[in-house]
Structure 1
Amino acid sequence: MRITETALPGVYTVTPDRLRDRRGDFYEAMRAGEFEKALGHPFVPRQINYSVSRRNTLRGVHGVTVPPGQAKYVTCVRGALRDVAVDLRVGSPAFGEHVVNELDAESGRAVYVPEGVGHGFLALTDDTCICYVLSSEHVPGTQVDVNPLDPDLAIPWGFTEHPLMSEKDARAPTLAEAMAAGLLATWRGSPHARRPAAAR
């Protein structure tokens, strides 16, 4: 597998090597030893979620307060999606910036989103299924939502008609509002600290 850090510190893409024969395909979605060597710290799954979406569904931008924090290993297991990670760590050299990756079941490509970084996606096909492997269990009341259509973020979602969104996402605060409310994590620039500090 090829593990590559993106323009956002601590956000990685993982592209597996596929073995193909007349029966179909096989690939390793993640190998802990190689992955943790790239991260510089352990990634221990605590919860696995799936969501299924119609084409042109927009979900996100979502994160979790620190603490408890939550890293995500995201793959598309059916269909295709436009995946976006947004740096929500106050003080990060990439604060407010985003990276966009196309994920689909055919490639098996994955994105690792560390604690403090928001995540969202646009479903490009009907019946798109995404898998989230999470570093912490869900704790009610800790989710951080940022409006995916915030003009200051200027995320290039690429939709041609208004997307299908939840009421919660449509009413989510802008990045500036979330920061003013003290919801965002604080960046620590230590070479070992991909884990951000709790916002004060």
Structure 2
Amino acid sequence: MRHEDPDPVDARLGARLSALRAQHGWSLDELAERSGVSRSTLSRTERAETSATAAVLNRLCHVYGRTMSQLLSEVEAEPAPVVRAEGQRVWADRASGFVRRAVSPPHPALRGELVEGRLSPGADIAYDRPPVPGLEQHLWVLSGALDVTDAGTEHRLATGDCLRMRVFGPTRFRCAGPDEARYVLAVVRP
């Protein structure tokens, strides 16, 4: 059997389709039932072992509520391999004392990303649910101290500590102070 590298566009499209299925929490069997596309075709398409036909993409776009143009625009270009510090997006929630820097090159087909977080002393942020159930997070404290609550368990983290979580429910991040907490969060979609 001859093994060739998959076409780069097919590989990005397969990864994006796999990510969309994971975001919806569907198995291959569930997606096959919803789309009318066989499980084997879906699996081979997600692994870039075959190129999706227009008919298959149309069925999948219908299930995911996207136009074909939207889906294809998500996979047209490779993500930038380097994002310089000045090009990294920074978002601040001044009311809560939280600053978030998107360190990784942004791209919807990527499963992992790095985020730098900073919490001011006294900051207390609670999330009622993860954006994607089963999200894997590795939180590494670079400076200061951070209290993180996941699944009802509180973790006190000091400089250099690292916490791994699979997030299915509420989480809470608190900086009791007296110094700012600065950390790296590695996020991996299921």
Greater share of residues in strand: 1
Greater share of residues in helix: 2
Larger RCO (CA within 8 A; separation ≥ 6): 1
TM over 0.5: no
| TM, length-normalised to structure 2 | 0.37
Larger Rg: 2
